[in-house]
Chains A and B, each alone.
Chain A
Amino acid sequence: MPDVPSTRLVYDALLVTSLDDAYKPATGPRVTGLGIGAALLAELVLSQHVVVWAAKGVDLLCFDERFRPPEDSLALWLVEHVRAERTALGVRDWLEFLSAADVYTKTAEHMAMLGLMVRHEYRSRWTRRVEHGYEPSDALFANAVFSRLRRQLSLAERQTSVEDAYLLGLTAAVGLSKPLFYQLPPGVHVYAEKQRQSLPAPLRALLAHLAAAVADTAITGGR
């Protein structure tokens, strides 16, 4: 049976972080934003629109001198912001910015335009105000990413793609290791770690910054 095809790293990250089996958020809003932000940055790194550059112990995000605009509006929005900065900002600043700028809603709207998500309105139980949210257009699609990752972990001998190796690291970094590894053989931890280590250095740096940001959220209470 073929794998469920990967749609796009940032969409996959949204599905992993913002939906559990009951369609409830798997992670808190701040961590969801950080996770999706890390996926969007990784996409731009892989497409060579931005580079991660270590300078004086700080990982900076810079735009590639051979700049060409991304075709996708979500990526373009972020690249324009990177270009607009007079001095390069750190990876951590970009993660914080993406979380604060509600990258979740931007990505969900993007997916809704493609028919992958459905925007729906509901009345808040407490405030009685009308609010809106997003749900996957198809139940199978919603669980496809997590199932794909778990399947790859259980077939440990297979070489995963860079995107999926990154997604494995991202899932662990946002604190979803437990559901990811649930009832899988003990050796999958080692396999997942090997996959993470096989990633290019800039992607490993992004994951390390994501893990640090999530841990800081736990220490400072996410304020």
Chain B
Amino acid sequence: MSTVPSAPSAVQAVLARNKLGTFSLLHFSLTAATPLTVIAGGVVVMFALAGEIGIPLGYLIIAVCLWLFSVGYTTMSRHITNAGAFYAFIARGIGRVPGVAAAWVAATAYCAMQISLYGLLGLTAESVLARMGLDASWWVCALVAWLLIGLLGTRAVDINAKVLAILLAVEIAVILLFSVSNFANAADGLPLAAMSPSTLGGEAAGAMLALAVTGFIGFESPTVYGEEAKDRRRTVARATLATVGILAFIYIASSWSIIAAVGADGVVDAAIADPSLMFTLAGDQLGAPWAVIGEVMLLTSVTAAALSFHNTTARYLFALGRERVAPAWLGRTSPRTSSPVTASLTQTVVSGAVIIAWAALGLDPLVHLFYYMSTSAGIGLLALIATCAVAVIVYFARDRRGESLWATRIAPVFAVVALLWVLYLSVLHFHTLLGVEKGSTLPVLVPILFAVLALLGAGWGAYLKRGRPEVYAGIGHGAKAALVTETSEPVGVAGGR
């Protein structure tokens, strides 16, 4: 006998109306990534500094690593609340003390990533203004953008999301147009040699992989909306995997297209001679105005990227403030806009100080600010993702919670092995990026800095465990930290006073 499904109640109908589907989550994660910045900003500089053509292969390797990682990551996100931040997974999987260590590394890495974008932003704005006959140094342009981002960051995020969505649609269209044009005007046909494993055999492979990771940051954001997803089991996983797939396709196709257009033998020299190589190619193939359009789009893309990372960093600091792992004032919201206002202002102050310091010291905005700092942040984020992959294994080692062997054991183990290998290469080859000899002290400083941060974080976590157990109990719960402390006491029947 078949049963007629009963209609949902009025309450459930209202709640269901506000639930998010795969496309909505995809929108949030893709707007957190800004592909033109990665392609026009990062890839050309990578060709120039690394001196190798294995960049498309690097993106492919990172995409596979992140796909393997996402399988276990999204599975674990179904079982924990506040599944929005890597450190929360680490706190729930390995323990609260490692969770605090990860939180400190994460906050620093995201902060550095956001600040690095001001170098590229200032330089691109300087170039666009120069085309218009205006003369402004990079740091003046960067400070103007810094002010704009600082203001937008304290406003409601939905305004930002709409702006980001429009920019994203236009920039993906421009990238695809330029890529098709590059392939159509290939110098020596399709350069299959670029996908050969030997192209990643050099001393710069690790640095390339570290920078490739930064292009995908934002893929983790669908888990933030896990509790608001229509189908928590499938929607978040679909959106996360689709984000990795779409970004991988764009990055591989466009970086490969640059090699195709210039030729495998000449692309490194061309990138060294012309940091705006992608737009020069577009200008040659499609007409001069397209080079200008591309550069203007890069400016808006980097601004969007800086805004996106600003919001991500602010939310990270906010969640840590709410948990009292960081100072509690970071957990304050703006009552009117509901944005994490003090965390946002903190990020603004730190980034402003770095821009001024870089300008005062006369450092190069492209190499010393954008490339060095974003690659350093990439190493921190790689370490974070690798540790999170370990946390997934440990979490499901205790209890598989009815999930498949593939999602709880096999994929996470592959992900840990692959990510640790990539991390090892990144640290090993970091000296090539800095242009110093192998064995120098300088390249070791970045991993040491992150290690010190992790140790300090772990020390703080250990102090909280002994000195402030109520704060310690809420670690890894972010916005819901207050609930953890409250629900440790029985609620029982209400009404009594």
> Which A residues are closer than 8 A to B by beta carbons?
25-28, 30-31, 45-48, 50-54, 57, 59, 64, 81, 84-86, 89, 93-94, 96-97, 100-101, 162, 174-178, 200-205, 207-209, 211-212, 214-223
Contacts and interface: CB of A to CB of B under 8 A. Distances in A.
Given A202-B493, A208-B487, A219-B84, 13 more contacts: A27-B336, A31-B338, A54-B492, A64-B495, A85-B9, A86-B9, A93-B15, A176-B335, A205-B486, A215-B480, A219-B478, A220-B225, A221-B158
A201 B491 contact: yes
A48 B495 contact: yes
B5 interface: no
B157 A221 contact: yes
Interface residues of B, number: 51
B359 interface: no
B63 to A, nearest CB: 26
B340 A220 contact: no
B491 A222 contact: no
Nearest to B492: A201
Given A93-B11, A205-B487, A51 B337 contact: no
A85 B14 CA distance: 13
A50 B493 CA distance: 9
B312 to A, nearest CB: 10
Nearest to A84: B9
B224 interface: yes
B89 to A, nearest CB: 15
Interface string B417-449: 000000000000000000000000000000000
A59 B81 CA distance: 14
A27 B335 contact: yes
Contacts of A222: 156-158, 338
Contact of B492 (A85, A175, A202): A202
12 contacts: A84-B9, A201-B494, A202-B495, A203-B494, A205-B483, A208-B483, A209-B483, A217-B338, A219-B318, A223-B28, A223-B158, A223-B225
Nearest to B18: A100
Contact of B14 (A27, A97, A176, A211): A97
A28 B335 CA distance: 6
Given A54-B491, A218-B338, A220-B224, A175 B18 contact: no
A96 B18 CA distance: 9
A162 B497 contact: yes
Q: Which 6 A-B pairs have the closest CB atoms?
A: A221-B157, A202-B494, A215-B479, A208-B486, A48-B495, A54-B491
B141 interface: no
B15 A100 contact: yes
Given A175-B333, A220-B224, A81 B493 contact: no
B17 interface: yes
A217 B10 CA distance: 23
Nearest to A217: B338
A7 to B, nearest CB: 20
A40 B339 CA distance: 25
B496 A200 contact: yes
B399 interface: no
A165 B483 CA distance: 18
A74 to B, nearest CB: 16
Given A93-B15, A100-B14, A218 B318 contact: yes
Given A59-B487, A84-B10, A218-B318, A53 B493 contact: yes
Contacts of A89: 11
Interface of B: 9-12, 14-15, 17-18, 20, 28, 84, 156-158, 160-161, 224-225, 227-228, 315, 318-319, 322, 331-340, 478-480, 482-483, 485-487, 489-497
Residue from B14, B482, B495 with most neighbouring chain A CB atoms (10 Å): B495
Given A52-B491, A97-B14, A25 B336 contact: yes
Nearest to B339: A218
B103 to A, nearest CB: 15
A175 B483 contact: no
Nearest to A198: B497
B493 A51 contact: yes
Contacts of A207: 486
B228 to A, nearest CB: 7
B494 A45 contact: yes
A176 B9 CA distance: 34
Q: Chain A at the B interface: mostly helix, strand, loop or mixed?
A: helix
Contact of B482 (A59, A81, A86, A212): A212
A194 to B, nearest CB: 15
Given A25-B336, A101-B14, A212-B480, A219 B319 contact: yes
A220 B84 CA distance: 10
Nearest to A209: B483
A145 to B, nearest CB: 15
Contact of B495 (A45, A204, A216): A45
Contacts of A96: 15, 18
A32 to B, nearest CB: 9
A223 B161 contact: yes
A221 B156 contact: yes
A138 B225 CA distance: 42
Nearest to B489: A201
Nearest to A223: B158
B494 A218 contact: no
A220 B228 contact: yes
A88 to B, nearest CB: 11
Nearest to A206: B494
A202 B491 contact: yes
Contacts of A100: 14-15, 17-18
A48 B10 CA distance: 23
A64 B240 CA distance: 43
A79 B487 CA distance: 24
Contacts of B12: 85
A26 B11 contact: no
A209 B479 CA distance: 10
Contacts of B335: 26-28, 31, 174-176
B10 A219 contact: no
A216 to B, nearest CB: 5
B11 to A, nearest CB: 5
A215 B478 contact: yes
Nearest to B27: A223
A94 B11 CA distance: 8
A211 B321 CA distance: 13
Nearest to B343: A218
A214 B494 contact: no
Contacts of A175: 332-335, 338
A185 B482 CA distance: 25
